[in-house]
């Protein structure tokens, strides 16, 4: 059983006195259904699960009158074995993107306040089946990603005391004991070879066979392509698929400083493909890191329109776009060439996204200085430079000397924790989860 942080967040939601209906969003196969079903089993006497993909006829509950009493009676009629009682029953509306009326009903469940309702689905950010009356202001939200490295360590049987120690060393800026550091680096390389999709991780845990994990990765990737074909408009289907499948080549094949439409299609232009990028990000299939002209808070004020990098929302998807042999090279630490730098940049992007950061990067075209990521915390900008090995972070140091108000910067590298004379904090790759 994979332990997920969202279980604690769901419990926190249940404990609120003024809780609203809850929407758990996220890409397909990240574990939304499993998490909510487990929450229901552990925290409620009964849970009614309505999956609108498996049981389209259940949409009849929400046709016509959306009064809470009317919907409760419809639930009791359809599911006579359940009591459907306030405080005792969790109503779980899964794949809610397939029933716009059910999405609209969340407003009325919240306004009534007697029943606990959790909805879940993917593709909630796109216009397909968007209800005419979206319950703005009437719902709480949780976003679920694939496993982060901390959750992966739990899946490996390593307890929270170890991950707590890692976070303590990060905060104290003190090295992790060498033997533990080396073990954590080995676990991190394994995590990078598998990615964070729960089914991939569980399959590897069950079989210890990369080939089995690879088959699951490729099946999930095919499922994402199916979603593009199913949910994207006719004008976006092919373009969105091409943009999505180009991510591996954009990040790993060459030193691209930004997303290149010509990699998607010879002579490709933003006018043709930018709407497809927007579709992929709203569908939680991909995430952008936007170039900024200044490493100054608030970064959104300095964004360069149309200048961005594109990442998969889980590295499992990225790896499925490449040959199986890449996994062995990652796990054994034998990567070479441009692929190595691009992969480790993607691994850190994965960690930052799962920590809730919006991604930006800095590139000065006149000096050619470039910093891989800029994140924001406490009203300040924090630069993050990624090194696959132990190379110097010259661009990062130059940025800190440039007079900008940057008090903290990180180099993520194949090294233990340390602080340089110029104030750059070096952390090992696995500590990207702490940023």
Q: pLDDT digit string (tens) for 331-366?
A: 998 887 778 889 999 999 999 999 999 999 999 877
Q: Work out the pLDDT band at 291, boundaries 50, 70, 90.
A: very high
- Mean pLDDT of the region 367-388: 91
Which residue blocks in 321-393 are alpha helix, DSSP H? 325-332, 338-354
Question: What are the pLDDT digits (tens) for 80-115?
Answer: 999 999 999 999 999 999 999 999 999 999 999 999
391 has a pLDDT exceeding 90: no
Q: Work out the pLDDT band at 254, boundaries 50, 70, 90.
A: low
Question: What burial class does residue 10 get, using C-beta atoms within 10 Å of its C-beta: 0-12 exposed, 13-18 middle, 19+ buried?
Answer: buried
- pLDDT computed for residue 396 by the predictor: 87
Question: What are the pLDDT digits (tens) for 214-229?
Answer: 999 999 999 999 999 9
15 has a pLDDT exceeding 80: yes
Any residues with CB less than 8 A from the CB of 102 and at least 6 apart, and which? 50, 52, 59, 61, 62, 93, 96, 119
- pLDDT computed for residue 83 by the predictor: 96
Question: What are the pLDDT digits (tens) for 170-188?
Answer: 999 999 999 999 999 999 9
Question: What are the pLDDT digits (tens) for 131-141?
Answer: 455 788 999 99
- pLDDT computed for residue 127 by the predictor: 56
> Residue 254 has what DSSP assignment?
S
- pLDDT computed for residue 335 by the predictor: 85
- pLDDT computed for residue 130 by the predictor: 53
- pLDDT computed for residue 2 by the predictor: 93
Q: Work out the pLDDT band at 256, boundaries 50, 70, 90.
A: low
Delimit the domains of the chain by residue range: 6-143, 149-434
128 has a pLDDT exceeding 50: no
Cα-to-chain-centroid distance, residue 54:
25
> Residue 59 has what DSSP assignment?
G
Please count the CA atoms within 13 angstroms of the CA of 6 that sit on its side-chain side.
26
Q: Which CATH class is domain 6-143?
A: alpha beta
Q: Work out the pLDDT band at 406, boundaries 50, 70, 90.
A: confident
- pLDDT computed for residue 346 by the predictor: 96
* Residue 413 structure tokens: 């590298």
For helices 6-15 and 32-43, give the axis angle rounded to 10 degrees.
50
Q: What is the mean pLDDT of the chain?
A: 93
Query: What distance in Å separates the CA atoms of residue 412 and residue 425, rounded to the nearest whole number?
Result: 8
- Mean pLDDT of the region 205-211: 96
- pLDDT computed for residue 403 by the predictor: 63
pLDDT exceeding 70 applies to what percent of the chain? 97
404 has a pLDDT exceeding 80: no
* Residue 401 structure tokens: 């000397």
Q: Of the candidates 271, 193, 280, 204, which has an alpha carbon nearest to the alpha carbon of residue 245?
A: 280
Query: What distance in Å separates the CA atoms of residue 364 and residue 378, rounded to the nearest whole number?
Result: 25
- pLDDT computed for residue 131 by the predictor: 47
């Amino acid at each position: 059983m994979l332990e997920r942080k969202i279980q604690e967040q769901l419990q926190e939601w249940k404990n609120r006195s003024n809780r609203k209906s809850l929407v758990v969003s996220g890409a397909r196969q990240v574990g939304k259904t499993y998490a909510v079903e487990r929450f229901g089993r552990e925290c409620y006497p009964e849970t009614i699960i309505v999956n609108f993909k498996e049981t389209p006829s259940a949409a009849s509950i929400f046709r016509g009158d959306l009064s809470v009493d009317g919907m409760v009676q419809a639930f009791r009629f359809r599911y006579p074995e359940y009591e459907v009682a306030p405080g005792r029953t969790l109503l779980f509306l899964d794949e809610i993107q397939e029933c716009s009326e059910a999405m609209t009903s969340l407003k009325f469940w919240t306004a009534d306040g007697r029943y606990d309702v959790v909805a879940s689905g993917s593709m909630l950010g796109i216009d397909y089946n968007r209800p005419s009356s979206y319950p703005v202001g009437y719902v709480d939200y949780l976003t679920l990603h694939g496993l982060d490295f901390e959750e992966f360590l739990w899946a490996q049987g390593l307890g929270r005391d170890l991950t707590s120690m890692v976070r303590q060393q990060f905060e104290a800026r003190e090295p992790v004991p060498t033997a533990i550091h080396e073990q954590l680096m080995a676990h991190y390389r394994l995590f990078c070879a598998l990615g964070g999709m729960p089914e991939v991780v569980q399959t590897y845990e069950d079989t210890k066979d990369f080939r089995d994990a690879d088959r699951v990765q490729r099946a999930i990737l095919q499922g994402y392509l199916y979603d593009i074909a199913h949910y994207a408009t006719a004008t976006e289907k092919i373009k969105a698929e091409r943009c999505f499948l180009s991510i591996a080549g954009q990040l790993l094949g060459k030193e691209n400083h930004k997303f290149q439409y010509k990699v998607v299609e010879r002579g490709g232009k933003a006018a043709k493909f930018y709407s497809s990028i927007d579709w992929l990000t709203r569908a939680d299939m991909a995430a952008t890191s936007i170039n900024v002209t200044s490493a100054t808070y608030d970064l959104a004020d300095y964004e360069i329109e149309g200048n961005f990098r594109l990442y998969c929302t889980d590295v499992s998807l990225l790896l499925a776009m490449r040959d199986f042999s890449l996994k062995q090279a990652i796990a054994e630490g034998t990567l070479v060439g441009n692929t190595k730098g691009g992969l480790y940049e993607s691994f850190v992007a994965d960690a930052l996204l799962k920590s809730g950061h919006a991604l930006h990067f800095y590139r000065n075209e006149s000096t050619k200085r470039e910093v891989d990521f800029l994140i924001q915390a406490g009203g300040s900008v924090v630069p993050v430079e990624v090194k696959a090995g132990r190379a110097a972070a010259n661009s990062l140091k130059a940025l800190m000397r440039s007079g900008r108000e940057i008090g903290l910067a990180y180099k993520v590298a194949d090294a233990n924790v340390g602080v340089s004379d110029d104030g750059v904090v070096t952390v090992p790759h696995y500590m990207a989860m702490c940023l």
